[in-house]
């Protein structure tokens, strides 16, 4: 297998690196201090996304996307993921399942989303349905040419301002009928209950939502009744690979910063890089990064070469598990190398500590990934993870 990057891959990496350094890094401290950026700075970032051709990297050219390979998507997510305070979220990637909408839905939602004209939110988690997606209780009941929906959501990232909310429901309260709906901002009955404060200051929230007798036309269903889980499978693979890539990006930046500091900082008459304790930490950090990148890009190439969906889903869990855990280990060691200065908010490694911690939780906790991996081993044996064709 040729694991080298192509000329196009290298071009994508160069664009993503320059964008992150010129359009994201300069805003990190202001966002951290204020938990928002002024409209003019948000507009500048948005223009940067378009200028560097990083919008909708996960969608085809004919709907306004960049039609990047999975390898290229991982490259972009690795580079922009190195920016603190979730500034990577400004590089919009509309949910991949929108491509399965009707021609009217694609025209109304997907194409504007790819251009960055509307923002999206995926409302799935509930008080009783986080890791257990089968526990969704938000129910949709047919009433003429509308569905009446009642329920509640939590961790509905961006729902407080998103123009489009993808809402996971069960039709008639039947768990065997998971179904997605497209809900416009301002729809009566879709109410933001509260915006909890979180450790990450990103300028957007993860609100709790009450859904009360909300009427949604049948034309706003994405796919058919019962297709909800099937439509989200590719999204979960995409999201988990993105988390893995971002975790590696954070780890690389933290290690770069720690290495510079280790060469400059003197104690007992020597730069601390000459102390074995520090040298060993850097060696472990480099090894974790190398292992994570090897896993990530190997499987990304396999997916680009036609890996079947079920295998891709299984391997994405292993990648998400390893890279998010390794990223946390690396960033934590970077803080240790900096010592007290590593806990100062002005230091990117402190902000990366908050950011990378979340990657071990969302889109399936590390424990859920282990359940997926364990289940695959029981059903299909070790070759899923240890084989190499």
Cα-based distances in Å from 41 to 28, 34, 46: 12, 13, 9
Identify the CA nearest to 261 among candidates 354, 339, 162, 186: 339
| Catalytic residue chosen out of the listed positions 238, 302, 350, 363 | 363
| Greatest pairwise CA separation for the chain in angstroms | 80
Distance from CA of residue 96 to its chain's centroid? 12
Distance CA 158, CA 138 (A): 19
Check pLDDT > 80 for residue 3: no
**Neighbour count for residue 189 (Cβ, 10 Å):** 15
Check pLDDT > 80 for residue 349: yes
User: In the numeric block, which tokens belong to residue 221?
Assistant: 């269903």
Contact 90, 50 (CB under 8 A): no
Look at residue 235 in the predicted model and tell me its pLDDT.
85
The yes-or-no answer on residue 284 being catalytic is: no
**What fold characterizes domain 7-115?**
Butyryl-Coa Dehydrogenase, subunit A; domain 1 (1.10.540)
Predicted confidence (pLDDT) per residue in 190-200, tens digit: 999 999 998 88
Check pLDDT > 80 for residue 132: no
Superfamily, domain 229-386: Butyryl-CoA Dehydrogenase, subunit A, domain 3 (1.20.140.10)
Look at residue 4 in the predicted model and tell me its pLDDT.
86
Predicted confidence (pLDDT) per residue in 139-178, tens digit: 999 999 999 999 999 999 999 999 999 999 999 989 999 9
Identify the CA nearest to 115 among candidates 107, 127, 103: 107
Contact 226, 178 (CB under 8 A): yes
198: region left, alpha or beta (phi > 0 left; psi from -120 to 50 alpha): beta
- What residue spans define the domains of the chain? 7-115, 120-222, 229-386
Confidence of residue 205 (pLDDT cuts 50, 70, 90): confident
Look at residue 54 in the predicted model and tell me its pLDDT.
98
Distance CA 263, CA 252 (A): 17
Residues 35-61, mean pLDDT to the nearest whole number: 97
Look at residue 1 in the predicted model and tell me its pLDDT.
60
Check pLDDT > 70 for residue 65: yes
Say what percent of the chain tops pLDDT 90: 90
Say what percent of the chain tops pLDDT 70: 99
Look at residue 130 in the predicted model and tell me its pLDDT.
73
Query: Please, which residues bridge with residue 302 across strands?
Result: none
pTM of the model: 0.95
Contact 59, 67 (CB under 8 A): yes
Top pLDDT among 335 and 200 is at: 335
Output the average pLDDT for the chain. Answer: 95
The number of residues in the chain equals 389
Predicted confidence (pLDDT) per residue in 100-121, tens digit: 999 999 999 999 999 999 999 9
Any idea what DSSP says for residue 244?
Answer: H
- Which of 128-142, 179-193, 266-280, 338-352 has the least mean pLDDT? 128-142
Check pLDDT > 70 for residue 308: yes
Check pLDDT > 70 for residue 350: yes
Check pLDDT > 80 for residue 64: yes
CATH of span 120-222: 2.40.110.10
């Amino acid at each position: 297998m040729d694991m080298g990057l192509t000329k196009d891959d290298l071009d994508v990496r160069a664009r993503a690196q320059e964008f992150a350094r010129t359009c994201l890094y300069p805003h990190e401290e202001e966002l951290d201090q204020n938990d928002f950026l002024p409209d003019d700075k948000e507009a500048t970032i948005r223009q940067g996304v378009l200028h560097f051709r990083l919008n909708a990297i996960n969608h085809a050219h004919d709907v306004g996307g960049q039609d990047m390979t999975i390898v290229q998507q991982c490259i972009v997510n690795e580079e922009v993921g190195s920016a603190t305070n979730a500034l990577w979220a400004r590089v919009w990637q509309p949910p991949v399942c929108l491509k399965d909408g009707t021609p009217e839905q694609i025209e109304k939602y997907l194409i504007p989303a790819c251009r960055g004209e509307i923002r999206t939110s995926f409302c799935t988690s509930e008080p009783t349905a986080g890791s257990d997606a089968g526990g969704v209780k938000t129910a949709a009941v047919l009433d003429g040419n509308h569905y009446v929906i009642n329920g509640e959501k939590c961790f509905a990232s961006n729902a407080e301002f998103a123009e489009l909310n993808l809402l996971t429901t069960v039709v008639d309260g039947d768990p065997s009928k998971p179904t997605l709906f497209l809900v416009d901002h301002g729809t009566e009955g879709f109410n933001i209950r509260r915006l909890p404060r979180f450790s990450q200051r990103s300028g957007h929230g993860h609100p709790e939502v009450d859904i009360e007798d909300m009427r949604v036309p049948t034309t706003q269903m994405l796919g058919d009744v019962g297709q909800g889980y099937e439509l989200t499978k590719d999204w979960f693979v995409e999201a988990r690979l993105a988390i893995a890539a971002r975790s590696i990006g954070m780890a690389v930046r933290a290690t770069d910063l720690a290495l510079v500091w280790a060469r400059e900082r003197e104690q007992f008459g020597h730069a601390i890089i000459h102390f074995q304790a520090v040298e060993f930490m850097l060696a472990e950090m480099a090894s974790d990064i190398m292992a994570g990148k090897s896993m990530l890009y190997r499987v990304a190439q396999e997916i680009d070469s036609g890996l079947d969906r079920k295998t891709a889903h299984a391997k994405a869990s292993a990648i998400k598990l390893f890279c998010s855990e390794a990223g946390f280990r690396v960033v934590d060691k970077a803080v240790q190398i900096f010592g007290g200065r590593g806990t100062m908010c002005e230091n990117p490694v402190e902000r990366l500590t908050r950011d990378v911690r979340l990657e071990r939780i969302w889109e399936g906790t590390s424990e859920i990934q282990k359940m997926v991996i364990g289940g695959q081993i029981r059903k299909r044996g070790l070759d899923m993870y240890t084989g190499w064709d």
